[in-house]
């Protein structure tokens, strides 16, 4: 058979390709599967963080900011440790982005604070002189869609086996039972803000979009 292959260069080339491709798959796939598993200590997004992520998408933050730090010195010096596949295990969808009009945000929680985000979203040039980013003052009055974020948590738990605890269950009653925990998380964010209307809204049981967005941004580390 080998003599026949040597006399037929086309089939010989095809055979070599198949052998190399098979060997490559055997080598690559297990490593890929291992790398895509959640990194040690990674937890699923809280309901408040999911609501913030949805606001991030709704207001098209992804159009100007990436969340993918490549393993190049110029990027790691500026943004921090390069991104690992396992860090995105609970991201659906991924928000890698394809353009950087503004900086990458994958590690923004390591170097920006709640009050910085509050000032930045209210008036970007107050903290970044010359910024071309628009103000997002509507986030301080719009109420975040917490119910949809909770339903999303239930969905990914049941379909993708995201490891949420027993507190995440389907149904309105389960959502209402979990709501105090969501508001408690929101109150911790609001406590670091100076906008009194936001503080009052959270105390009244409503979560302004800015609170949910900051919870999400603080999560990015």
The architecture of the domain spanning 47-219 is Orthogonal Bundle (1.10)
**Residue 193: other Cβ atoms inside 10 A:** 21
Q: What are phi and psi of 208, to 5 degrees?
A: -60, 150
Q: Measured in Å, how far apart are the chain's first and last C-alpha atoms?
A: 57
Q: How distant, in Å, are the alpha carbons of 18, 53, 149, 150, 168 from that of 145?
A: 51, 11, 7, 9, 17
Q: What is the pTM of this model?
A: 0.85
What distance in Å separates the CA atoms of residue 165 and residue 179, rounded to the nearest whole number?
Answer: 15
Q: What is the pLDDT along the chain (221 residues), one digit of tens a residue?
A: 556 666 677 777 887 788 887 767 666 656 555 556 889 899 999 999 999 999 999 999 999 999 999 999 999 999 999 999 999 999 999 999 988 999 999 999 999 999 999 999 999 999 999 999 999 999 999 999 999 999 999 999 999 999 999 999 999 999 999 999 999 999 999 999 999 999 999 999 999 999 999 999 999 99
Output the CA angle 179-183-189, nearest 5 degrees: 150
The burial class, CB within 10 Å (0-12 / 13-18 / 19+), for 156 is: middle
What are the boundaries of each domain within the chain? Answer: 2-35, 47-219
């Amino acid at each position: 058979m080998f003599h026949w292959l040597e006399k037929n260069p086309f089939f010989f080339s095809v055979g070599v390709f198949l052998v190399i491709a098979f060997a490559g798959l055997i080598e690559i796939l297990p490593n890929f599967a291992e790398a895509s598993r959640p990194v040690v200590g990674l937890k699923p997004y809280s309901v408040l963080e999911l609501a913030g992520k949805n606001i991030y998408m709704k207001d098209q933050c992804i159009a100007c900011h990436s969340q993918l730090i490549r393993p190049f010195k110029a990027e790691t010096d500026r943004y921090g440790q390069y991104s690992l596949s396992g860090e995105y295990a609970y991201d659906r969808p991924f928000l890698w982005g394809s353009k950087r009009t503004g900086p990458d945000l994958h590690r923004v929680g390591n170097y920006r604070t709640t009050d910085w985000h509050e000032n930045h979203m209210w008036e970007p040039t107050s903290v970044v002189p010359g910024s071309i980013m628009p103000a997002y003052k509507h986030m301080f009055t719009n109420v975040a869609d917490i119910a949809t974020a909770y339903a999303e948590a239930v969905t990914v738990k049941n379909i993708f086996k995201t490891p949420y605890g027993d507190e995440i269950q389907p149904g309105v009653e389960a959502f209402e039972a979990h709501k105090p925990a969501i508001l408690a998380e929101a109150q911790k964010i609001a406590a670091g803000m100076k906008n009194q209307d936001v503080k009052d809204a959270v105390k009244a049981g409503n979560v302004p979009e800015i609170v949910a967005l900051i919870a999400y941004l603080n999560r990015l580390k």
